Amino acid sequence: MDSILVTGNGPLNGQIPIAGAKNACLTLMPATLLSEEPLTLTNAPRLSDIKTMTALLQSLGAEVSSLQDGQVQAMSSHDLTSQTADYEIVRKMRASNLVLGPLLARFGHAVVSLPGGCAIGARPMDLHVEGLEALGAEIELKDGYLHAKAPGGLKGGVHEMRFASVGATENIVMAATLAKGTTVLKNAAREPEIVDLVECLRKMGAQIAGEGTSTIEIQGVDRLHGATHQVVIDRIELGTYMLAPAICGGEVELLGGRMRLVESFAAKLDAAGVSVEETDKGLKVARKNGRVRAVDVVTEPFPGFPTDLQAQMMALMCTAEGTSVLEERIFENRFMHAPELVRMGADIEVHGGTATVTGVERLKGAPVMATDLRASVSLILAGLAAEGETVVSRVYHLDRGYEHVVRKLEGVGAKIERIKGQ
């Protein structure tokens, strides 16, 4: 297995291009199942999660062209041969469950494996099921699979979600595009990836209003057609690389970054003493002198502080002046990076969903292990700021969500290399 060797070596300066959003692409790709005509996505990131979704769509009979250098992903779901998402693929990636809504809407039936446990928490699918049932679906759990059917087709309805789940919002909105009548989804998630999905669905002929607010209204149509759509910038990759100059010092411009995607996160960086400025090309982040200040963080649905940046923010807080409290409210088990950071000399105490971090002057390089996608990159950030060498193992997690991480960080002066495993 490959690992990443990072050697801490001072300030970072330059530019980093930000890719298209993994999480947007993972819901845009299943949207192709809603139409017989091709959907073309540009700016798709080159990541292993995208390959997993490609394999899943292909297993259903969709044609998906392989990723080209221009990062175009073209798909056609003209002759689907299956409406079953198999456990072997779903277990690799929870986002596979996003085929449920589209398959059910277009074919009136679908069988999708439950994703099972995952490293950062239980992550059930009850909110997806409740929403689709409100549209008239009948869903049964048999042998680890959700068997969903809507013999007379889905029908619009009013549904209020108990929690603003991102995936459930996406599944319900996609399903409602082909339902009869109007659907009103209340307490919907407001993430930019949902706005991006709705913009794409609209290009395909869907009638939707209210995306980006907590009430989304969908007027069902008979059919959707083909479209071309540019995937929105990845705000989590953006936030991750904003932390690179914050933790090492220096000034880095994140090309393509927009403030509206990371407002609450940028406010925390500002409070910590890191400057963030919007330019015509992206976001410029700088830390010129002294240590950052400790700030407290609570993770929340958008527009709150994203859970997907909590691990990386913790790496920054490890070297801040003072004590910060990080509260994780989205996932119940998302502090697995903490003991790894402690191996690097960090002072962290975890009690339930709260981590208390007291900053130290300097972290020390150590061999550490990535436990999930965001944890892996937090260890790389910590390594950039540490004294000596850090070797991060199990980097296959990283390949799920960060393209060209070595090249991007090298480009701003980091000492980082990938070491091929046996």
Enzyme catalytic residues: 118
For ligand UD1, what does the binding mask look like between residues 321 and 340, x meaning CB under 6 A? ---------xx---------
From the list 118-126, 210-218, 257-265, 389-397, the region that binds ligand UD1 by CB under 6 A is: 118-126
Under the phi-then-psi rule, with left for phi > 0, alpha for psi from -120 to 50, and beta for the rest, what region is 186? Answer: beta
Residue 57 found at the interface with ligand UD1 (CB under 6 A): no
**Interface segment toward ligand UD1; rule CB under 6 A; list 79-87, 164-172, 285-293, 309-317:** 164-172
**Do 73 and 25 contact (CB within 8 A), yes or no?**
yes
**CB of 320 within 8 A of CB of 383?**
no
* Residue with Cβ nearer ligand UD1 (172 or 363): 172
Verify binding: residue 392, ligand UD1, rule CB under 6 A: no
Question: How wide is the angle at C-alpha 44 spanned by C-alphas 40 and 49, nearest 5°?
Answer: 115
125 lies in the binding site for ligand UD1 (CB under 6 A): yes
Angle at 36 between CA 35 and CA 40, to 5 degrees: 70
Quick one: which H or E segment has residue 272? Answer: helix 263-272
Q: Does 308 bind ligand UD1 (CB under 6 A)?
A: yes
Q: Which residue is nearest to ligand UD1 (CB)?
A: 167
Which backbone phi and psi does 93 adopt, to 5 degrees? -155, 120
Residues with Cβ within 8 Å of 316's Cβ and at least 6 positions away in sequence, in order, are 243, 246, 247, 272, 292, 381
Stretch that binds ligand UD1, among 64-72, 160-168, 174-182, 382-390 (CB under 6 A): 160-168
Report the b/e string of 191-218 with b at 16+ CB within 10 A. bbbbbbbbbbbbebbbebebbeebebbb
Contact status: 384 vs ligand UD1 (CB under 6 A) = no
Count of residues in contact with ligand UD1, rule CB under 6 A: 22
Beta strand 73-76 with 39-42: parallel, antiparallel or unpaired?
A: antiparallel
Please identify, among the stretches 33-41, 115-123, 196-204, 260-268, the one whose residues bind ligand UD1 according to the rule CB under 6 A.
Answer: 115-123
Q: Which residues pair with 349 in a beta bridge?
A: 356
Burial class (CB in 10 A: 0-12, 13-18, 19+), 374: buried
Q: Which of residues 74-113 bind ligand UD1 (CB under 6 A)?
A: 94-95
Give the one residue of 26, 137, 172, 200 binding ligand UD1; rule: CB under 6 A: 26
By the rule CB under 6 A, 167 interacts with ligand UD1: yes
Residue closer to ligand UD1 (CB basis): 100 or 414 = 100
Alpha carbons within 13 A on the beta-carbon side of 34:
36
Q: Contact with ligand UD1 (CB under 6 A): which of 57, 135, 166, 344?
A: 166
Q: Counting contacts by CB under 6 A, is residue 116 touching ligand UD1? A: no
Among 46, 51, 109, 123, binds ligand UD1 (CB under 6 A): 123
Residues that bind ligand UD1 (CB under 6 A): 23, 26, 94-95, 121-128, 163, 165-168, 193, 307-308, 330-331
